[in-house]
Amino acid sequence: MIDLWSVPTANGQKVHIVLEEAGLAWRATMVDLTNGEHQTPEFLALNPFGKAPVMRDSEGPGGRPLVLAETLAIAWYAAEKGANGLISDDPAARAEQMMWAAAISSSVAMPFAMQFFATHLAPKPDPWLIETMTSGARRSLGVFEALLAEQAWVCGPTFSVVDCLLFPVVATSAKRLDGWLDGYPSLRRWHDEVARRPAVQRGMAVGTD
């Protein structure tokens, strides 16, 4: 059984979706960030950075327990353990999947996170920062718009772990942008198709009650 300490944000949703698509047995404990549950000694013992999600697999490799932090690491591990096609067996395709997965976790996540900070958390609005991070977020969407205009899924003809990781960015983070997916027809087509998947629906529902 996999235990997941998570949050109902894009990062948590990424892992929820992968776990569901991988068909693994798991249970979630939601972490209340507003009450500082991510800074308790118990949580810091799992992840000293005090960030969610964190996973503990009681039946890890070799039957030994395994604790993992960082969204990409958890998602990749779950996709590999599920062994149901979310990660390619072809070395070149696998490397490309890792490249896009890493890009979503860094190049894409950064402007969206900073855009949220600038528009919702900063004590004083900074027009330059808001415009810079909003433009960066839109450029990220534009990269995937161009990619999905040429193919069904982010990494080609097959749904993969990369689509799982991108979906919450589009469905959750990007909704903060004015107009959401206006001007991104291929991304909207892809979003709607992913949103119809039962495993994605289950993953997105975790922590919403």
pLDDT digits (tens, 9 = 90+) for 176-187: 999 999 999 999
Flag whether pLDDT at 29 surpasses 90.
yes
- The residue range of the domain holding 184 is 91-200
Assess if residue 209 is contained within a domain.
no
Report, as an integer, the average pLDDT of 100-121.
89
**Could you tell me if 129 and 114 are in contact, meaning their C-beta atoms sit under 8 angstroms apart?**
yes
**CATH code of the domain containing 132:** 1.20.1050.10
Number of separate domains in the chain: 2
For residue 110, being part of any structural domain is answered with yes
Q: Is residue 113 part of a domain?
A: yes
Of the residues 34, 61, 85, the one at which a domain ends = 85
Flag whether pLDDT at 163 surpasses 90.
Answer: yes
Quick check: is 118 in a domain?
Answer: yes
End position of a domain, from candidates 85, 119, 136: 85
Q: Which domain-ending residue is among 59, 85, 111?
A: 85
**pLDDT mean over 140-167:** 97
Q: What pTM was estimated for this model as a whole?
A: 0.94
Assess whether 43 and 75 both reside in one domain. yes
**In what order do the strands lie in the sheet containing 2-6?**
26-30, 2-6, 54-57, 66-69
206 within a domain of the structure (yes/no): no
pLDDT class for 190, splitting at 50, 70, 90? very high
More confident residue, 118 or 185: 185
